[in-house]
Structure 1
């Protein structure tokens, strides 16, 4: 396959970081490779959409190197706080980065895996991914992209012909390998590892790398880096909330320094605006509950600031952290107004609207997706009672941000609650029937087109 040089732009910037950052590894050899999902929309943005299915499987199931980029997969090293407990024994345990490409916006993108085999950081894990886990990640990323949440994208899902044993689902269960397209896999935990080892030279090198390659800025100023991460992660937290999304495991090794959400495990969408709603069955204290996600993300960013303290003064780092709340308030207003289909106004006016919307949604227990659909499509229909009068009055003078002529607004809201996820998986598990999965991806994309 000859790639179009205008669309296919390989990179290998990770290798410039050197030995403290990764381990060279090899992919597992799978008994079979059956293509289950290929994201040609995402592939087009990095110039690999011209691959036929056999070439696709060779690169994204057998991991034949893509030309001009990394010669072998790299398992990244990092530490992290997991449910606020520091763990120095983690890293890429069932995934690796195997290519870097520029997208059609010029951004540096990593092609990373989930379920590609064991690495030095696998500990007692088998390095594999269940097919159900892969299906869930595709659905999560498609839904979040449509809802304007900065997210990694599921590029490929390939079934591997393996029978996996798991404690949290019926076993043996089918295996898969996922390829995700992400604007970097550098995490807060990557910085934490270097701080743990007191490697100031590597901290400066990584800071410069992130500023240069991921933010397009010169220099290696750690305060400038923290400023950028604070703003991006505040935006991520706000868009999670407006989407009604609960990530489930907001550990510091799961927070990307570009503010892009990734690595979806026990995620859920909240049925109603319930701040106490929890995604992970093992989150007994509700640490990462729906309403606590901005707090959780800020706590993680504080760990980045603590790591950067080895190469920066405390006062400017603290000042940067103090701006998280300001960024979040602006971002939550923008995100909520985006879903409402209205244009925002002044910060003070918008804050009143957002507070009224959140308060009334919580009091009435209305379904999150139903509410935003109805407000965008019908301007709060008459079926919404007197308890919505304040919201109705506040929204009345706000102009719509786009026409409502898409066919989606004549249908029903597209949601992704856990019951539907299970309903999509059941025919795949029982009859290898992917009809509902394919239809749901198409419906999500139609919603995204209507909202965009």
Structure 2
């Protein structure tokens, strides 16, 4: 079954909640819109073809200038802890929810325009997104899906030459993004601090009924929901850490109730390994550094539990939160076991991993390249290509000797182990300099070909893509001068 935008069938379950949860409003039109990029994979989630999106009539609908028949446009209300400080009202300041589609496979996907204009929650902002940040969000949403990491998705970018003012004048763009749900921890927090506990229960019932129905038949469905969110968040943090992803702004209002990666702003993937890397230059204290992300996720879960406290047994809530760390550690070590190509985890393997990460940190070894090259290690060879990634080759050789011995101990077939290991170690990630090259080509010349090329490669980042070997190369020196902030 294929559809076009004007034949989508909306269900709009979130829009059936009372208006205390949102404000209905229409997007603000942008002049002379033009197509920038489309994701064929995201289009398939709505049973749309790429050709239907490329039709000129679709452009106005994808930017919000013309309604999609059946849409129910609204901006949702939420609060949140931003850099540890509670902000009592946030909400969709530059995002407008269009509604929900059920595809031919029975999946529900909500549609949201990011950058569609001012809302009651814009807090003196203009409600717009710039082309630069839209390209970053579009590419990383789809790249994370390619990596197998739970995430919101991005269908399209539509641009306009309308000026938008950030650090410098830029041009506007709108991303149409998709998610099973955009509900955040902050959607519960706003009503807790307003002492509107009936609204919290109403929203929790909505989440359980539509996303966590297995919780309904338990002794306490709300406790079961917290347990499930804790488990999903622990798994998400393990995914991020294993692939070297830094979110950059892990406020509670950027935490998905479904355990999805949500809101791509000042994100970054590790180049040279640095456990304390801070990707957001607005994060002056390093609160959201790479090695702090699991602890911050747990802190955010405490905030969610507090918002749900009238629905929970206190002791059971504490037990759920205490389960986060062991769940995260087990999930992280399982992912690192696969990255190291080990069939079984045994005593001493964690020390082997720590030694490698320490060596990488001391020698500023590239995280993605190092693990990918470990997938090429041949236990029958005296030297391995990965040693050349490290300035201290004798130290790397010493570590490799122990690693090869460990692989030999397992006795796996080398070719089989290498193939499996490559499926755990991507060759390609969306490095900041790659995104920047695509941004510069788009902004200066309206050349969107680099976006399309990156999208194609990042959809299957574990494959070789020999024609695009340069995407897996060491970052150029100028990449170290790039910085991203909350406006990115």
TM-score in terms of structure 1 length: 0.89
Structure 1 partner of 2:72: 72
Distance 1:376 1:19 in 2: 53
The Cα of 1:198 is off from its aligned counterpart by 1.6
In 2, are the aligned partners of 1:149 and 1:243 still within 8 Å (CA)? no
In 2, are the aligned partners of 1:353 and 1:394 still within 8 Å (CA)? no
In 1, are the aligned partners of 2:115 and 2:127 still within 8 Å (CA)? yes
1:316 and 1:423, CA in 2 relative to 1: closer, same or farther beyond 3 A? Answer: same
The Cα of 1:43 is off from its aligned counterpart by 1.2
Q: Which structure 2 residues correspond to residues 179-194 of structure 1 after superposition, within 5 A?
A: 179-194=176-191
1:274 and 1:47, CA in 2 relative to 1: closer, same or farther beyond 3 A? Answer: same
Q: Deviations over 1:251-283 (max 9, x none)?
A: 000000101011111111111221111111111
Structure 1 partner of 2:400: 388
Select between 362-371 and 103-112 the one with higher mean Cα deviation. 103-112
1:57 and 1:300, CA in 2 relative to 1: closer, same or farther beyond 3 A? Answer: same
The Cα of 1:181 is off from its aligned counterpart by 1.0
Distance 2:255 2:415 in 1: 31
Tell me whether 1:431 sits opposite 2:428 in the alignment: no
Distance 2:307 2:449 in 1: 48
The Cα of 1:386 is off from its aligned counterpart by 1.7
Q: Deviations over 1:13-37 (max 9, x none)?
A: 1023212211101101110221111
Q: Deviations over 1:319-338 (max 9, x none)?
A: 00000011101211233344
Select between 373-382 and 267-276 the one with higher mean Cα deviation. 373-382
Distance 1:234 1:107 in 2: 24
Structure 2 partner of 1:51: 52
Structure 1 partner of 2:344: 345
Unmatched tracts of structure 1, length 5 or more: none
In 2, are the aligned partners of 1:333 and 1:350 still within 8 Å (CA)? no
**Secondary structure of 1:447 counterpart:** coil
Q: CA RMSD in A?
A: 2.9
In 1, are the aligned partners of 2:34 and 2:160 still within 8 Å (CA)? yes
The Cα of 1:405 is off from its aligned counterpart by 7.3
The Cα of 1:112 is off from its aligned counterpart by 1.4
In 1, are the aligned partners of 2:22 and 2:77 still within 8 Å (CA)? yes
1:239 and 1:315, CA in 2 relative to 1: closer, same or farther beyond 3 A? Answer: same
Q: Which structure 2 residues correspond to residues 204-243 of structure 1 after superposition, within 5 A?
A: 204-217=201-214, 219=216, 221-243=221-243
**Secondary structure of 1:296 counterpart:** helix
Structure 2 partner of 1:309: 309
Q: Deviations over 1:189-208 (max 9, x none)?
A: 01101111122221111111
Distance 1:57 1:278 in 2: 37
Select between 355-364 and 123-132 the one with higher mean Cα deviation. 355-364
Unmatched tracts of structure 2, length 5 or more: 388-396, 466-488
Structure 1 partner of 2:141: 141
Distance 2:193 2:120 in 1: 19
In 2, are the aligned partners of 1:66 and 1:99 still within 8 Å (CA)? no
1:318 and 1:161, CA in 2 relative to 1: closer, same or farther beyond 3 A? Answer: same
1:65 and 1:376, CA in 2 relative to 1: closer, same or farther beyond 3 A? Answer: farther
Distance 1:98 1:450 in 2: 38
Structure 2 partner of 1:158: 158
Q: Which structure 2 residues correspond to residues 60-139 of structure 1 after superposition, within 5 A?
A: 60-62=62-64, 64-67=66-69, 71-103=71-103, 106-139=106-139
**Secondary structure of 1:123 counterpart:** coil
Structure 1 partner of 2:16: 16
In 1, are the aligned partners of 2:30 and 2:65 still within 8 Å (CA)? no
1:343 and 1:315, CA in 2 relative to 1: closer, same or farther beyond 3 A? Answer: same
In 1, are the aligned partners of 2:15 and 2:99 still within 8 Å (CA)? no
Q: 1:198 aligns with which of 192, 195, 214?
A: 195
Structure 2 partner of 1:369: 368
Structure 2 partner of 1:31: 31
**Secondary structure of 1:175 counterpart:** strand
Distance 2:343 2:116 in 1: 44
In 1, are the aligned partners of 2:42 and 2:153 still within 8 Å (CA)? yes
Select between 206-215 and 361-370 the one with higher mean Cα deviation. 361-370
Distance 2:260 2:446 in 1: 32
1:352 and 1:207, CA in 2 relative to 1: closer, same or farther beyond 3 A? Answer: farther
Distance 2:310 2:68 in 1: 38
Distance 2:370 2:191 in 1: 45
The Cα of 1:417 is off from its aligned counterpart by 2.7
TM-score in terms of structure 2 length: 0.83
1:63 and 1:232, CA in 2 relative to 1: closer, same or farther beyond 3 A? Answer: farther
Select between 239-248 and 8-17 the one with higher mean Cα deviation. 8-17
Distance 1:344 1:196 in 2: 48
